[in-house]
Amino acid sequence: MKAIQLKEPGTLCSIAMPQPPAPAAGEALVRVHRIGVCGTDIHAFGGKQPFFSYPRILGHELGVEVLAVGEGVANVKPGDKCSVEPYINCQKCIACRRGKPNCCTDIQVLGVHTDGGMREQFALPARKLHPAAKLPFDQLALVETLGIGAHAVERAQVEKDEFVLVIGAGPIGLAAMQFAVEKGARVIVLDINEARLEFCQRQLGVAHSINGAKENALDALKHITSNDLPTAVFDATGNPKSMMGSFEYPAHGGRLVFIGLFQGDVTFNDPNFHRRELTLMGSRNAQPADFKRIIELVEKGRINTAPWITHRGAFNDVEKEFPAWTDPKNGVIKAMIEV
């Protein structure tokens, strides 16, 4: 069986693996059909991904088919098409016991802490599979990315008609925008890539865009919000300068949510933070319920995934194609690998 391994930063290579054994109790054996390439994969390729060790088989945005199930599995059956919830949690720690498996104290994320889906077949806990009879594998592979944005929007309790700022128009920022728009919020996107900004307005229905390379972001926000500023701000950049600068953007009494992360410390001016009585949140991964809700929304046509996939590649061509997908000049929003 073939797999693609990230041996070290910048080096992907094909490796041969034995066929996986029959699934154990509670497990399912799946065949991988689609692998979405995300920021985590790109940062790992560049040597800039926290919580990561090499070598590693990447891949956690997956559209799969169930081949076999182990004893006691009732939620899926052979032949089911599924999205994969790639956050393998312990089910015992304080976070898991309190209904937050997305931030389990011993979480093992596929493709990050443990080998992922950039291989033809593998076994995983069947409880991490979310079947969807109506969706093609392309859409199933996008559910995890959408889930990260959906979870962040739920964390912030975004409301209809409030001004919401999303900083960073990469895939995670796009997902947050998609669900903020779905909530009925008045969404503003801040980025320095004009093509990404146009995509957000044209394809996602984002009301306002700000090019931080051409205009003063704070002045533009005041103009758009009649001097109020947004009541919810999401930073999806993983850029320390952006994250620390984002404390200037929320309205008094507002919320600031960090979806992106980096290897380092965040500092901010405490008087500015306190006088506004800001709420600061981290948002990590997604919840099982997010996957079920997203599948339902996509099936009903309320979330459109069609514009997301801008590049495609065959599994056998990943080593050759992957470096180009990491270059912003190539306009990649989402690259999809077909297995």
pLDDT in tens, 261-294: 888 999 999 999 999 999 999 999 999 999 999 9
Domain identity same for 160 and 266: yes
Distances in whole angstroms, Cα of residue 127 to Cα of each of 64, 77, 82, 117, 183: 14, 12, 11, 16, 28
Q: Which pLDDT belongs to residue 305?
A: 87
Q: Which helix (H) or strand (E) holds 121?
A: strand 121-125
Q: Judging by beta carbons within 10 Å of its beta carbon (0-12, 13-18, 19+), is residue 20 exposed, middle or buried? A: middle
Tell me how crowded residue 56 is: count the other CB atoms within 10 A of its CB. 21
Q: Is 165 left (phi over 0), alpha (psi -120 to 50) or beta?
A: beta
Domain identity same for 153 and 277: yes
Number of structural domains the chain divides into: 2
Residue 189 structural domain: 149-282
Assess if residue 287 is contained within a domain.
no
Domain identity same for 105 and 161: no
Domain identity same for 111 and 162: no
Assess if residue 292 is contained within a domain.
no
Assess if residue 180 is contained within a domain.
yes
Q: Domain with 269 in it: what CATH number? A: 3.40.50.720
Q: Which pLDDT belongs to residue 315?
A: 97
Measured CA to CA, the distance from residue 153 to residue 158 in angstroms comes to 6
Assess if residue 229 is contained within a domain.
yes
Domain identity same for 114 and 160: no
Q: Which pLDDT belongs to residue 179?
A: 96
Of 212, 215, 211, the closest CA to residue 245 belongs to 212
| Cα 331 from chain centroid (whole Å) | 18
Q: Domain with 100 in it: what CATH number? A: 3.90.180.10
Assess if residue 178 is contained within a domain.
yes
Domain identity same for 57 and 122: yes
Assess if residue 297 is contained within a domain.
no
Dihedral sign (CA 180, 186, 192, 194): positive
Domain identity same for 100 and 211: no
Domain identity same for 153 and 70: no
The four Cα atoms 148, 151, 157, 163 give a dihedral, to 10 degrees, of 10
Distances in whole angstroms, Cα of residue 249 to Cα of each of 32, 46, 179, 200, 225: 42, 30, 20, 20, 11
pLDDT in tens, 23-60: 999 999 999 999 999 988 998 999 888 778 899 999 99
Domain identity same for 81 and 154: no
Domain identity same for 198 and 156: yes
Q: Which pLDDT belongs to residue 306?
A: 83
Assess if residue 137 is contained within a domain.
no
Domain identity same for 210 and 249: yes
Q: Which pLDDT belongs to residue 244?
A: 98
Helices assigned H by DSSP within 49-160 = 94-97, 137-156
Number of helices (H), then strands (E), belonging to the chain: the values are: 10, 18
3-state secondary structure of 8: strand
The four Cα atoms 116, 120, 124, 130 give a dihedral, to 10 degrees, of 90
Residues of the chain with pLDDT under 70: none
Domain identity same for 161 and 49: no
Measured CA to CA, the distance from residue 278 to residue 273 in angstroms comes to 6
Assess if residue 99 is contained within a domain.
yes
